[in-house]
Structure 1
Amino acid sequence: MIDNPDAVIVCKFGGSSVANAAQIEKVRGIIQADPRRRIVVVSAPGKAKGDREKVTDHLINIATDGRHFHEMRKSISAEESREAVLRKFTSILHDLKLGGEPLLARLRADLSRDDLKGEPRIAFYASRGEHYNAQLIADHFRNHGLAARVGLPEEIGLEVRGEPLDAKIGPESHDRLAALADEEGIVVVPGFYGVSDEGEVAVMSRGGSDLTGGELAYAVDAEVYENWTDTNGIYEVDPRLIPESRVIPRLTFKEIRLLSSKGFNVFHFDAMLNCKKRKIPINIRNTNAPREPGTLILNERVPEEGVVGIAKLDNMAYIYLEKDSLGDEIGFTAGLLTIFQECGINTYHYPTDKDDIAVLVHQDDLKGSINELRRRIERRLNPDYMDVVYNQAILTPVGLGMKGNSHPIVDAITALGEARIPIKMMGQSPSQICFHIAVPQTAADAAIDVLYRRLIGMA
């Protein structure tokens, strides 16, 4: 990237990056190191050493009068959650040497509101972690001589539409948010929530701070969107499985989309969509190792390898159907997928042939639904044979260099065969830049080790 001193960098810091005073001090150092970092999006404090649960989960537990943790089979009351949230913020304020009593008084008042019901109540409470964390971080910046202010969504015009617990930032907000690029100081924005046109708080899906950062980057046409987390970037494979796995220096939006849909839980994919439209690079960086360059996500890159990364989806299952000439039956596949939709089951992949089809799903989604799913399929589609195969893992090698290049597929099949690892299902994407292999869950870790060493480690 070419440095432009007048450009704006949007930085988003996740929960682990702002989990306590020590982490927030690292954030200050990162912001101070580059004057272009003028828009800072922060999450609620994440779990630090000694914390039982995340702040956001405590806040939802308060809003639901303890039901949130009860449904997770955890014995934490709403009052215990209220005390945990107050204790967390009190600790951070104390360790940062901030005079925080006014902020704590406002937080106590918000955590005692009883005028909201249902989803609006949950949305309001869930947003308080980001709301107050942004304020104390802006205070900390000012205490260290930085020109900083907090930019609350209700003040900067970050308007959302949709349901209180699944809001989306509307395009009408972009013109208002673009004005942030003209501010000379630093603006600290709480992620995850916005306000409706009626002034009500609404939150995005979990991980919504990524969305806030992406929309702000788009609105100000940022030089780059830096997403700061607790990892050095995006690895070739999960480093917990392959310790020698390396950080990938560059990926395209298409590649990260394929990897993230198959187990690479780096950040919220929707946060990338508008950045992609304006060709704004996204840089995944490590708050704990700010000198590391991280991974750049770009619209285009020069492919230098066949396979760039391998994703793994665990605990999968597939529903297998046989019926003579089902491939010639117009509407059969559409009818089958409609049944999955009716049962609230997300589908990942559905290879088909003349007389059979398999639909890949996460097996947790089948809990409480598989009996009804079977009944509807048998009544409406009358298959000759139906089976459900559980405990599968899906391995997905991805890379631009595979387009028009079948060698990685041949190498993968050969390597798994030599290792005596059975292949239960296989298919290539229409883009030709990834393929999927299903193996028994018990063999998944061994399989990804074999594929890594054959497709990437030897490169």
Structure 2
Amino acid sequence: MKVVKFGGSSLASSTQLNKVLNIVKSDAQRKIIVVSAPGKRSADDEKVTDLLIDYADAFLANLDYQEIQDRIIQRYEAIAYELELGETIIGDIRQGILGLAEETESSQDAARVMDRFKASGEDNNAKLVATYFKKNGLNARYMNPQEAGMIVSDEPGNALILANSYSQILKLRDTDEILVIPGFFGYTKDGDICTFSRGGSDITGSIIAAGTHADLYENFTDVDAIYAAHPGLVKHPHKIKELTFREMRELSYAGFGVFHDEALIPAFRAGIEVVIKNTNNPSAPGTRILLDRQLGDEGVIGIAGDSGFAIFYMSKYLMNREIGFGRKVLEILEDESLNYEHMPSGIDDISIILREHQLTSEVEDRLINRFKEELHVDEIYVNHNLSMIAIVGEGMKSNVGTAAKSTNALSAAGVNLEMINQGSSEVSILFGIKSCHEDIAIKALYKTFFN
């Protein structure tokens, strides 16, 4: 039994839905289908989820939202009319979108309102896809996430699946129907809608695959494979045939757009193999994501970069002799409700790397003052506008000189290093650089390891 997830680009138009239908028809093992909201039909188009966010923002601000409502409804209507699905499904979707504002109190918690609006994108699309499948001879049925057993923590916009949900999800395995389930959200124990983090339809697919003990989790998108570097930066980059979950998570964290970096954890924990496929070219083998893979001669299998980081650099003589210094740093970050990404250190210095979106000028000033007053550091300064470049590969641990090749390549390209960090797992090496050099750095590293 296979669980299949289709992304927004695969469901953006009637033409794409016809491809999806043929993919599902071609393999009787494809029994559970997880769908995203309709994505972009072209580069200058808008995702339905983005329109729904604008709708919620306008509603919460007591602004006129009729024009946004009409644009959302028209997206679904265009697909339904072209597929000749009839007025019933169009009417249901129209009423559902209008009802978001009519049935919601503007005084409700804004985060809950936003989740309810956003979730309707996937929910309406699942109803439309199930109707289309049934019209074309498939024994298909829309299933609400609550019925499927998707019970989640009460954290709007950042929900987590509850462990006891898996026993209910397992009951879906032996279905005789093709179940079409909306991704991106679940329900709390009290019956409130809560969404996963952005890209959450991948999380839903991974949870359903794990819960049903699926033989395979297929994730259909709009590329033939996962590439060793971004195709927009590197011409005809190397296609990755196989990689491990750990390699995929490292690449996703470092900026790969294929998956949210936490999306595959349920499948990984359950030992479910994942394959990335192309809706527009389903015969392509795609990329397989495995627990383990046979390592070849290559050390690095992928290079990724992400911007939006800042580094707090602190120096204090005999820091290494001061018991509890690291704990005090972490306590200050916890007090300020800040997540840190990396914390490389030396005997007299420590660097704290954070996402810049967490920092306002007030938070930054407060941190500097607290580090000075509570830790008595000799020197402290902040570097902004940094990118993290990662080279990733399970084989790096057995390939001598990977770090040296990397630093030589960056030096030759005129890229100065602000930070270098290699974890004990040796699956990745991270380089902190100025964001203006990100593209140059990725191209230089790709040339070193793949050309």
TM range (shorter): over 0.9
Alpha-carbon deviation of 1:399?
0.8
Q: How far apart, in 1, do the equivalents of 2:57 and 2:357 lie?
A: 24
Letter in 1 for 2:103: D
Q: Secondary structure at the match of 1:336?
A: helix
1:275 pairs with 2:267: yes
* Match of residue 348, structure 2, among 355, 360, 366: 355
Report how many aligned residue pairs link the two structures: 444
Determine if contact 2:97/2:120 at 8 Å carries over to the other structure. Answer: no
Identify the residue that residue 217 of structure 2 maps to in structure 1: 225
2: distance between equivalents of 1:260 and 1:341?
25
Alignment match, 1:87: 74
Moved more, 238-247 or 76-85: 76-85
Partner of 1:253: 245
Kindly state the Cα deviation for residue 297 of structure 1 after the two structures are TM-superposed.
0.9
Corresponding position: 1:198 with 2:201: no
The runs of 5 or more residues in structure 1 that have no matched partner are: 1-7, 71-75
User: Equivalent residue of 1:396, what SS?
Assistant: strand
- Give me the TM-score of the superposition, normalised by structure 1: 0.91
Contact 2:5 2:35 in 1 (8 A): yes
Q: Which moved more, 1:34-43 or 1:334-343?
A: 334-343
Deviations 1:321-360 (A, max 9, x none): 1111112212212222332333343322111111111112
The residue aligned with 2:322 is 329
How far off its partner does 1:206 sit? Answer: 1.8
Change over 3 Å in CA distance of 1:341–1:245 after alignment to 2 = farther
Equivalent-residue separation in structure 2 for 1:102 and 1:444 (angstroms): 48
Which string of whole-angstrom CA distances, capped at 9 and with x for unpartnered residues, describes residues 388-441 of structure 1? 122332221111111143311121222333344322322221112221222333
AA aligned opposite 2:323:
I
Conserved? CA contact 2:238–2:450, under 8 Å: no
Instruction: Report the Cα distance in structure 1 between the residues aligned to 2:194 and 2:386, rounded to whole angstroms.
Output: 37
Instruction: Give the CA deviation at 1:18.
Output: 0.9
Residue 367 of structure 2 is matched in structure 1 by 373
Contact 1:309/1:398 (8 A) holds in 2: yes
The 8 Å contact of residues 73 and 94 in structure 2, kept in 1 or not, is answered as no
Task: Answer whether contact 2:76 2:90 (CA < 8 A) is retained.
Answer: no
Instruction: Tell me which moved more, 166-175 or 205-214.
Output: 166-175
How far apart, CA to CA, are the structure 2 residues paired with 1:326 and 1:282? 45
The residue that corresponds to 1:148 in the other structure is: 140
Q: CA RMSD in A?
A: 2.2
Q: Report Cα offsets for 1:27-77 as digits up to 9, x if no partner.
A: 111111111111000011112249753322332333343558x9xxxxx95
CA distance in 2 between partners of 1:111 and 1:192 (Å): 17
Matching residue's letter, 1:160: V
User: Is contact 2:54-2:68 (8 Å) kept?
Assistant: yes
1:173 aligns with 2:165: yes
C-alpha spacing 1:436/1:154, structure 2 compared with 1 (3 Å) = closer
Check conservation: 2:34, 2:204, Cα contact below 8 A: yes
Match of 1:307 in 2: 300
1:107 aligns with 2:101: no
> Where does residue 428 of structure 1 map in the other structure?
422
In structure 2, what is the equivalent of residue 96 of structure 1?
83
SS in 2 for 1:415: helix
Structure 2 counterpart of 1:212, one-letter code: T
Once residues 153 and 307 of structure 2 are traced to their aligned partners in structure 1, the CA distance between those partners, rounded to angstroms, is 34
Which residue of 2 is the match for residue 21 of structure 1? Answer: 14
Displacement of 1:447: 2.0
C-alpha distance in 2, partners of 1:442/1:287?
Answer: 34
Q: What is the CA–CA distance in structure 2 between the aligned matches of 1:164 and 1:417, rounded to whole Å?
A: 44
Mapped pair 1:402 → 2:389 = no
Of the structure 1 ranges 298-307 and 47-56, higher mean CA displacement relative to structure 2 is found in 47-56
Q: Which moved more, 1:107-116 or 1:298-307?
A: 107-116
Shift of 1:109: 4.9
Equivalent residue number for residue 383 of structure 2: 389
| Partner-residue secondary structure (3-state), 2:260 | coil
Inter-partner Cα distance in structure 2 for 1:170 and 1:443: 42
Structure 2, unmatched stretches of 5+, are none
State the distance in 2 between where 1:272 and 1:415 align.
32
1:166–1:415 CA distance, 2 compared to 1 (3 A) = closer
CA distance in 2, matches of 1:114, 1:165: 20
Contact 1:229 1:286 in 2 (8 A): yes
Indicate if the aligned counterparts of 1:207 and 1:268 stay in contact, CA closer than 8 A. Answer: yes
Contact 1:327 1:352 in 2 (8 A): no
TM-score normalised by length of structure 2 = 0.92
Matches of 1:449 and 1:108 in 2, distance apart?
45
Deviation at 1:235, TM superposition (A): 1.1
- Tell me the SS of whatever aligns to 1:90: helix
Other-structure match for 2:49:
56
Letter of the 1:139 counterpart: T
Residue 133 of structure 1 is matched in structure 2 by 125
8 A contact 1:61–1:67 mirrored in 2: no
Closer, same or farther: CA 101–356 of 1 in aligned 2, 3 Å:
closer
Contact 1:39 1:189 in 2 (8 A): yes
| Distance 1:47-1:366 versus aligned 2 partners, 3 A rule | same
